[in-house]
Amino acid sequence: MTLVTVTGAAKLARVSRGTIYNKIESGELSKGPEGIDTSELLRVFGTLHDVSNDDKTVKRGNVSDAKSENTTVMARQNDEITQKLLEQLEEASGEKEWLREMLEKKENQLAEKQRRLDEQMEQHADERKTWSQQLDAVQKLLPAPEDIKPRKKLFGLF
């Protein structure tokens, strides 16, 4: 990427030098010893403006050269940004597929646990039915409470 001075950065971003310094102090914008990278300006301000038309910065004889150089720099920056975005999109697609696989595994595990729980509930229902039948059979063998004769007191306890 191209490095520019604080003044150049302010012109490219169409903000004041004070704004650039404030962004650097707050940590939003990073500045190296040789200057500010234009990719940093793109990241913070979004778009950069063509300053080749400014009479103060470009001599009239070099206007076409400056425009083509600026266009080349911006095209290269756009290509780099596009490439990074494509890489991020590919990474996100991979992550999405991984998450889908994990969700499918968890759903399968949950379905298996539900199946086992249903089997256990069915088994317990069968056991309850068996116990209920056995209880009914035992109750049929026992005499009804009104059929039980009163016992005589034995040693004063009964």
Q: How does pLDDT run across 34-64, given as a tens digit for each residue? A: 889 888 888 898 888 877 655 444 444 455 5
The sign one gets for the Cα dihedral 66, 72, 78, 80 is: negative
Structure token digits, residue 142? 């026992």
Bridge partners for 37 per DSSP: 3
Residue 66: per-residue pLDDT: 61
Nearest-angstrom CA–CA distance, 95 and 68: 40
Residue 45 CB: number of other CB atoms within 10 A?
19
The DSSP result for 126-158, as a single string, is: HHHHHHHHHHHHHHHHSPPGGGSPPPPPSTTT-
Please classify residue 7 by burial: count the beta carbons closer than 10 Å to its beta carbon, then call 0-12 exposed, 13-18 middle and 19+ buried: exposed
Give this prediction's pTM.
0.36
Structure token digits, residue 44? 């913070």
For the segment 74-92, the average pLDDT, to the nearest whole number, is 90
For 87-141, what is each residue's pLDDT tens digit? 999 999 999 999 999 999 999 999 999 999 999 999 999 899 999 999 988 888 8
